Structure 1
Amino acid sequence: MEAAVETKQRSSTSFEKLLESGPVKVIFKLPWTILSNLPGFSMLKQPVSYLFSTQNKEETNPENENSSNSISKPPLIEEITIPSVSDLVKSGVRFVKTKGSVSTISFDPKKVTFYLPATSLDVNTEVILRNLVAYEVSNTSGPLVLTRYTELMNGIIDTEEDVKLLREKGIILNHLKSDEEVAKVWNGMSKSIRLTEVPFLDKAIEDVNKYYNGRWKVKMTKFMKVYVFGSWQFLAVLAGVLLLLLMTLQAFCSVYHCSSVFHIPTTTTST
């Protein structure tokens, strides 16, 4: 038993010495030296950094340490972008109806729950909403709460499937003919003429996006769509890297027998 352990230790020591030898270092460093000089190698840095980036880049930015500073800034158009109900449900988000008004809207990252108040829609809803939004924009100097709420609903509802999911949770009370008509009502609401800040709604949107964009499934989907299926240059560079690595492995095995280095048993055929 001791002899076997000693033999194993000697073999591992010899393998470490082999890796530290000059020729092996040159062989392993050669592909990375070549790759660093390739013009297309920079294309690989962005996808890799995207996959392994932190969920919230704002946390590493000292300018964003104070959340009150970010809330005090007027929201940008990009901040209104939010995943649809269907996408959020697929990523594990639960939708729960609240008993209050629009002020009860929030997102709980720990429970992964999006709280929304119930909304009833009938044939008069679209006209009423448009008039209320127009009145709020023209007569309110403070936060445009209703306008921001319509933008939120417009963002999370894209298709009738989104309406169906909210209707099943009791968040949407549909008195129209179909869920498709409800989706058209929300999608037909125009965006606000001027930007405004509604802290509790902006916080909910920010928390939802932070959770959704931090999911590995979402990251991989975006990675495949943007860098793989949408970029033939990336595929060409990746194929070149794989080919170069295989050539390096072949060169290594031609100098040092891989079967003896990695202790791969060889089979002999008898005639």
Structure 2
Amino acid sequence: MENRDLELGDMENMIQERAYLFLRRVLEQEQKSLNEPITPPIYMVPRTLRDLSPHSFSPRMVSIGPLHRDDENVQAFERQKVTYLIKLMNHITSSTPEIIMNSCMEKVYASMEKIKACYVWTRIYNDFEIAEMMVMDACFILGFIYLIFQLNLADIFAEDVVCDLVLLENQIPFFFLEEIFKCTIAELMPNTSLVKFMYPVLSILNLFDSDVGLNILENISIDDTHHILSLLHECYKPQTGYIFRKEFSITRSHSAVDLDKAGVSFKPNRYQTWVLGMEMEFPCFLWSWCKCTLRMPIFYVSNSTELILRNLIAYEQESMQTQNYITSYAYVINMLVNTQDDVAKLVDSEVLINVMGSNENAANMINNICKEVPLVNSLYRQQWRALDRYYNRYYNRYWPKHIGWMRRTYFSSPWNIIALVVGSIIFALTIVQTIFTVGD
């Protein structure tokens, strides 16, 4: 019995010691995290999102960084990377390629540990391999942008390359791209920052027909930018002055056609200070024939829209340091679009520009964009709640519903209005004639 008590006592002491050591290790790690800034990683796309649309997350032409370096479809472009690097070096006449390359290598080795911390490594590389990879990819990105958009060099694959540069898993750290920029492009364009240098790429990738977001580039800090995709996301952040409340997710769906029947019109929000801003405008009088208006950003739908949207949404889902700007908008546009008729209504209202080829294709893309995306605290909860109240108040009552029907039937076009007026005049003249005939 005594031996058993000793054994139990030894076990308790061992547990206490282990618990103490574990707690001390946790506290040391916490202190280390507080003392050393956390480098934002290059996130991996969740499998649930990747399985829905694999082509939206894998590079078609060029790999950037280590995560897709071994993909078969990007191997042929590796020679093009070398070509762009050499052309970039040759344009810098203020120094020799050897000196420039030495400077780039010094930059990468000085930041090696910080660079390593940015990735979830799926394969082991030594420092020399990582250094060559980082310098090659950074010089390619900068050389590509300089030669294509500054010197107007023709490249039939330019649009595909630009799309590859925005993929979540196809990134290099922006702080390192800035270092290589100083060694190269800054020698050619001394009055240009890296952020401004990226403007042509961001213009191609912009999802909305507005320059509002791109105009804030000069206020974007390198410290707040993780990579090129992160830079594009920064363009969709509101300027100071916007206050967002923690709201529940939007769950009730009204399509564009349904809302139009209820007397809601859609108009572009052309004068907003936030590119994603939405505003509700209501009629002044309760029974006014004026429509309730939802002012929205002008959404540009092209063949690359799905790719850009999915990567921005994946970035918001994985990063704990960003708000759900794009995800909130995606949920709203998904609510508004059920069929191609809804797309047609938004196109007619000039809040959607569709160059995909058909409204059905656009509707299918929009319908699928939020699948497997968790519900978020929507930034448009207040606007949607007001829209929902209007819908219930006006559409479900007798007179507003019939006024809406009359508006669609008789006042939807100038010809309908003319026909109604002419018909009313003929009807009135017929009644007058009948009265005089009876009087005689």
| Structure-2-length-normalised TM-score | 0.31
Greater helix proportion = 1
Q: State the structure with bigger RCO (CA 8 A, min sep 6), 1 or 2.
A: 1
| Structure-1-length-normalised TM-score | 0.49
